[in-house]
Amino acid sequence: MVWLWDNLDLVLRLTADHVRLSIIPIVVGFIVCIPFGWLANRYTVARTILLTLGGVLFSIPSLALFVTLPALLGTRILDEANVVVALCVYAIAVMVRGAADAFSSVSRDVISSSTAVGFSAVSRFWTVEFPLAGPVLLASLRVVSVSTVSLLSVGSLIGVQSLGYLFINGYQRDFPGEILIGIAFTVIVAVVFDTILVLVGRLLMPWTRATPRRRSVTSASAAVTA
C-alpha cells in the first residue's frame, strides 16, 4: 500500500495509457465486425471464410504477432501501433463470429414482416436488424472488452507502456506487491469498461428489460392489493 501511495503518479499514468490503448481495439472491433458479421450471416461462403480466418488469426500467439507486425506494417519495433493493430486483429477475430450469430439471432418473421410492410433494405438493416442484433452483439463486445484489457499487458514485453509494466517491473525486482497492484488495476479497468457497456446497452435497448406479460400481470395485481 505504501508503495502504491509513493508511486501513485506512475500507476495512474499507466492506467490512463492502458485505458487509451485498449479503447481503440474495442471500438475498431465493434465497427469492423458489423459489415463482416452481416456478410457472414447473409452468405454461407462468406461465413465459412470469415469464421475460419477469425479462428486462425485468434490462434496466433500475441507476442509473436507483436514482433511480426513491424515487418508487415513498416512501423518501428517499439511503436505502440504494433500492439494496437494486433489487438484490433484479435478483437475483430472474436467479434466477427459474435456479430454473425447476432444477426442470425434476429427472427426471420420480424425481418420478413418488416419487408412486407415496406421497409427498404437499408432502413430495415439500421432500424430493425441492427438494434435487434444488439443484445448478442453486446455479449460478444463484453468478451472482447475484457480480453483486450488483459491482452494489452503483454504489450509491455515489447516496451509499450501499460499496466503490464508493473508485472514485469515487479517480477524483475522480486516485489509481489507491485504485481498485485498491476493485477488489481487491470481488473478495475476491465470491470469499469464492462459496467459502462452494460449501462450503455440498457440505455440503448430498453425493450430487453420490459417485463414479459405474465410478470407484469402479477405485479399489477400485487400493486392493486398493496
Partner 1 sequence: MIEFHSVTKRFPDGTLAVEDFSLVLPSRKTTVFVGSSGCGKTTLLRMINRMIDPTSGSIAIDGVDIASGSAVALRRSIGYVMQNSGLLPHRRVIDNVATVPLLKGVKKADAHAQAMELLDTVGLDRVLAYRYPSQLSGGQQQRVGVARGLAVNPNILLMDEPFGAVDPIVRDDLQQELLRLQHDLDKTVVFVTHDIDEAFLLGDQVVILEKGAQIAQVGTPKEILANPASDFVASFIGADRGKRRLAVDSSVARSGDDVVLVDGAGYVAGVIEAPGGVLPGAGAGVNTDSLARSVSNKTDQAGDA
Residue ranges that bind partner 1, judged by CB under 8 A: 107, 109-110, 112-120, 123, 128, 131-132, 205, 207, 210-213, 216
C-beta of 103 vs 165, nearer to partner 1? 103
Minimum distance from CB of 102 to partner 1 (Å)?
A: 14
| Residue type for position 70 | P
Q: Please give the Cα distance from 170 to 97 (Å, whole number).
A: 37
Buried b (16+ CB within 10 A) or exposed e, 165-193: bbbbbbeeeeeeebbebbbebbeebbeeb
C-beta of 128 vs 146, nearer to partner 1? 128
Q: Count CA within 13 A, CB hemisphere, residue 166.
A: 27
Q: Which residues contact 46 (CB under 8 A, 6 or more apart)?
A: 39, 40
Minimum distance from CB of 108 to partner 1 (Å)?
A: 10
C-beta of 48 vs 216, nearer to partner 1? 216
DSSP codes joined into one string, 151-203: HHGGGGGGT--STHHHHHHHHHTT-HHHHHHHHHHHHHHHHHHHHHHHHHHHH
Tell me the CA distances in angstroms from 147 to 10, 94, 97, 204, 219, one per residue in order.
23, 10, 15, 23, 39
Residue that has been written with the C-alpha cell 398493496 in this structure: 226
Q: Please give the Cα distance from 44 to 102 (Å, whole number).
A: 15
Minimum distance from CB of 226 to partner 1 (Å)?
A: 19
Minimum distance from CB of 45 to partner 1 (Å)?
A: 17
Q: Please give the Cα distance from 148 to 155 (Å, whole number).
A: 11
C-beta of 68 vs 123, nearer to partner 1? 123
Minimum distance from CB of 220 to partner 1 (Å)?
A: 11
C-beta of 68 vs 115, nearer to partner 1? 115
C-beta of 77 vs 204, nearer to partner 1? 204
Q: Please give the Cα distance from 94 to 91 (Å, whole number).
A: 5
Minimum distance from CB of 68 to partner 1 (Å)?
A: 43
Minimum distance from CB of 36 to partner 1 (Å)?
A: 23
C-beta of 31 vs 204, nearer to partner 1? 204
